[in-house]
Amino acid sequence: MKEGHSRNEEEYFAKVDAELMKERRSARHTAEMKVERASHFMRCPRCGGTLHEVAHHGVNVDRCVDCKGVWLDAGDFEHLEHALDSGVTRFFSSMFGRHP
């Protein structure tokens, strides 16, 4: 034990240091997750290409400019189910550039 420091002081400062390190680890982890998430934003999960939002018959979908994959966001599938009542064939034909 260092001269002039009591055991309680040593324990207190060790606890404060441990809490500070825990907070810094948590902040670093949060920052790393934010960077990771930003690197995937509007990127195709299949090929990594750029996604562009395209509206088709009132439903917005994300379409990859490279592989032409189509990706749905939360709630889009429900909108597609509703499109069944109004002609899903027209919806998909217009999305993929084909005419029924």
pLDDT digits (tens, 9 = 90+) for 14-39: 999 999 999 999 999 988 888 777 66
Q: Residue 38: name the closest of 47, 27, 46, 30 by CA.
A: 30
Residues 6+ apart with CB under 8 A from 54: 60, 61, 62, 63, 95
pLDDT of residue 100: 47
| pLDDT greater than 90 at residue 98 | no
Domain extent listing, the chain? 1-41, 51-95
- Residue 91 binned pLDDT confidence (cut-offs 50, 70, 90): low
pTM (whole model) above 0.75: no
Mean pLDDT on 74-84: 74
